[in-house]
Copies of this chain bind each other. A is one copy, B any other.
Amino acid sequence: MEKKGNDKPTNPMVTPLLNDLYQFTMAYAYWKAGKQSERSVFDLYFRKNPFGGEYTIFAGLEECIKFLANFTLTDAEIDFVRDSLPGCEEAFCDYLRGLDCSDIEVYAVSEGSVVFPKVPLLRIEGPVAVVQLLETPFLNLINYASLVATNAARHRFVAGKSKLLLEFGARRAQGPDGAISASKYCYLGGFDATRHVLVLLRVNVAAGRLFGIPLRGTHSHAFVSSFMSLDEIVDKALRSSDGKTTCEDFVSLVQTCLAKIQNSSSLSGIFSETNKSELAAFTSYALAFPSAFLALVDTYDVMKSGIPNFCAVALALNELGYKAVGIRLDSGDLAYLSTEARKFFCGVERELNVPDFGKMIITASNDLNEETVDALNKQGHEVDAFGIGTNLVTCYSQAALGCVFKLVEINNQPRIKLSEDVTKVSIPCKKRTYRLFGKEGYPLVDIMTGENEPPPKVGERLLCRHPFNESKRAYVVPQRVEELLKCYWRGNADEAREELEPLKEIRNRCIKQLENMRPDHMRRLNPTPYKVSVSAKLYDFIHFLWLNEAPVGELH
């Protein structure tokens, strides 16, 4: 496998200047204080799982590593920074000019992993002024990626394994790379395909097809209404699927097929005249894509027009040896319409003796989300594929994940950030993290320990403590122990660092880890929180430091 770490970030706008100004003001203040090279350790983590669930999918790591590998400031960028900092000394610009990430180490959970609150997703070590400049880009690259991957995984969970899930969100996404990232990370989270092209970057043509995600396409309402009548179709010939014969007038064949349906006793009751511009559009589309005919059937009326018109064209294709793909429903009562459509297809199969016609793929779209898919499941439906757009890619039900980036150690001194709100107190120290698995193979608990504590051992009893609630603790005898943080960046040195994996492998990890979770953590209603803990030693140290840093009040 090729080493991919030094590729450029997917979006060329991802440079050190995709940043908060305060990272540069701080870098300047560190530099002025002579502290810029002090060795610091920061943790990147989130505090709460999104979407009312109890799990999150970690995504965005590859882009962070690409960002590190390409981290330099150009002269023009340095000029801009100088102009933005009041009283900036020229020597600081020289310092910026020499800056890169050769002194940075990044330990991270593998991309596509199931992760939980408070446990670091990344541990970043290096000169404090440089690490500070990574905060905003890293948060930006991870927050949305993880959020939308989690959203995709949740949609996959409710839709079930057997359904095809298509990502439809480009038009409603929050900007161009909201769309592009969404395609990538929805695929990672378990979607099957995207309908976006978004593949070749002009600035990075060598990358070719951007992520190798399968593409799906059909047509829109505008295509249907752009036709007026069958007379518009000039080139009516269609070669048969085996190439042996040519039907010279496919339009007539379609009309004959429509008449067959109209004359069939059990099918004819549903409709009288179908819309002719729709029939012309379907026929035209089939002439262009005879082996991939998928029609949007709700432009005028699904049961009175779209379905019979679709069946007429599908039957005509069938006579030439092609198999139509199916239909898409984009409005109305999807449970009812999909069931009625299935009945109609089965009726055609039976009455007109067309094998497998009843198995036509029914795709549903139109503002779908976890709740509507769940509701469809409860009502009963005949949908085979869901096209999900707005709610998926904008993460409509919760539009942000709150990852934070906190200093936990500097110059080997552990640091803590206090807060009135105990959930916002940071867990100090350079830490290691482990996932402990139980007898049944499920993960039981994640545990954080100090860097130099001995790792948990299989078969050995271990006390796991809630980091902030003294009464919450449990003994665990792990059957398997997995260290979570692995080195993904060590000053650009290739040795002893994890390879970045192809998207497909990351996706497989995600799917496999989700399948291996205990079901009560996964359910949509009142899921059980997964346990996150610290070692007894780390617990004691956190609370010692807390008391040490908190000011004592005066009562009068």
Contact = CB atoms under 8 A, between A and B. Distances in A.
Interface of A: 11-15, 17-22, 24-26, 28-30, 32-35, 38, 40, 42, 74, 76-77, 80-81, 84-87, 128, 132, 135-136, 139-141, 143-145, 148, 168, 170-181, 195-203, 205, 208-209, 215-223, 225-228, 232-235, 269-275, 277, 284-285, 287-292, 298-301, 304-305, 331-332, 390, 394-396, 398-403, 405-407, 410-411, 413, 415-421, 424, 549-554, 556
A400 B396 contact: yes
Given A173-B144, A225-B417, A197 B20 contact: yes
Contacts of A128: 226
Contacts of A291: 86-87
B300 A29 contact: no
Given A15-B202, A289-B86, A551 B273 contact: yes
B132 A170 contact: no
Copies of this protein in the complex: 2
Contact of A200 (B76, B208, B394, B549): B76
B551 A219 contact: no
Contacts of A148: 174
Contacts of A28: 288-289
Nearest to A200: B77
A175 B181 contact: yes
B219 A26 contact: yes
A489 to B, nearest CB: 19
A551 B272 contact: yes
Contact of A407 (B11, B209, B226, B304): B226
A171 B20 contact: yes
**Among all A-B residue pairs, the 5 with the closest Cβ atoms:** A21-B217, A139-B171, A394-B399, A29-B288, A174-B174
A26 B220 contact: yes
A339 to B, nearest CB: 16
Main SS of the interface on chain A? Answer: loop
A417 B221 contact: yes
Given A18-B180, A551-B305, A87 B225 contact: no
Contact of A140 (B135, B170, B215, B549): B170
Contacts of A221: 406-407, 417
A198 B12 CA distance: 12
A556 B398 CA distance: 48
A418 B278 CA distance: 12
A406 to B, nearest CB: 7
Nearest to A92: B288
A191 B549 CA distance: 37
Given A12-B201, A132-B223, 9 more contacts: A12-B13, A18-B198, A20-B168, A20-B196, A21-B217, A143-B171, A174-B175, A222-B406, A298-B419
Nearest to A142: B171
A171 B416 CA distance: 21
26 contacts: A13-B177, A17-B198, A17-B200, A19-B170, A20-B195, A22-B217, A25-B218, A25-B288, A76-B200, A80-B200, A80-B209, A85-B289, A87-B289, A136-B196, A140-B171, A140-B179, A171-B403, A173-B174, A174-B174, A175-B178, A176-B177, A225-B407, A269-B554, A331-B419, A331-B424, A332-B420
A228 B80 CA distance: 32
